[in-house]
Amino acid sequence: MFERTRYTVPLPSGRAMVLGERTLVMGILNITPDSFSDGGLHLDVDHAVHAGLQLVEDGADILDIGGESTRPGAQAVGEREEMRRVLPVVEKLAGRTAALISIDTYKSRVAREALARGAVIINDISGLQYDPALARVAAETQAAMVLMHTRGHSREMYERAVYDNVITEVCSELEDAMQRAIDGGVLREAIVLDPGFGFAKRPEHSYALLAGLGELAALGRPILSGPSRKSFLKDALGEREPAGREWGTAAGVAASVLLGAHIVRVHNVKAMTDVVRVADRLRRARFIETGA
């Protein structure tokens, strides 16, 4: 187990997200027809809102709402279509739950409109490589910003999955992403980092990153871990559909918590909240009750 630094991440309107006292659960709410795990399930606004509220009831602290699949090989979606999908859902959920709303987008206009409707976190899978203006949006709105590691766009990312030392290189490239954000006006205190399991990474790279997650603590920012149902789990489990990877996901989530993640991003919130609670209890037993 790794010691976990506590952080207070500023949010719009004077709010804050406290990280490190316990692991926060980010529930995934995809408003897409083609996401790898749950595409097409929540295209209707009312159905999506109901699903989001259920995620909160199941234990989600954060709802991550996305309108474009970013799985490898996925087709890009125009910003108008993305906004049509996500903005009504963001607005309705922000008005009906105290859970934090995250907008999963790399487009600055989509982020700005979602933040105007109640989102408080931008989750950028590109680490500010696709739309640098996204940093200015975060800075002007005082939104928290998740920067994920990847290389290239979805159609080419596996071609760039070549590493001499995946942990060292991911850390270095996440430092570059942080610098892009800071140069764009984002407060360092507002940044959360995501190693990006499965993005521009072969299964062996994702497993090495998960095993070495504690080393990312040296970057001095909270860590978000997203192993949920990812294809790298098949390397251990064998061929199976995303919904059949729940036990593998549970192992990845437990490992993430024990190795120092502050937030875990998951599909099955109810089950993974149980995993997080037990893993957090183990952390407390190790670092608090024994005085270690």
Known catalytic residues are: 230, 265
Indicate the residue type of 154. S
Cα separation, 270 vs 277, in Å, equals: 11
Q: Tell me if residue 59 falls in helix, strand or coil.
A: coil
Neighbours of 75 (CB within 10 A): 9
Cα separation, 177 vs 173, in Å, equals: 6
> What contacts 50, CB < 8 A, 6 or more positions away?
none
CATH architecture label of 13-289:
Alpha-Beta Barrel (3.20)
Q: What is the 3-state secondary structure (H, E, C) of 63-126?
A: EEEECCCCCCCCCCCCHHHHHHHHHHHHHHHHCCCCCEEEEECCCHHHHHHHHHCCCCEEEECC
Indicate the residue type of 97. T
Ordered per-residue pLDDT tens for the chain, 292 residues: 677 999 999 999 999 999 999 999 999 999 987 444 444 455 689 999 999 999 999 999 999 999 998 766 667 889 999 999 999 999 999 999 999 999 999 999 999 999 999 999 999 999 999 999 999 999 999 999 999 999 988 778 888 999 999 999 999 999 999 999 999 999 999 999 999 999 999 999 999 999 999 999 999 999 999 999 999 999 999 999 999 999 999 999 999 999 999 999 999 999 999 999 999 999 989 866 545 5
Q: Tell me if residue 18 falls in helix, strand or coil.
A: strand
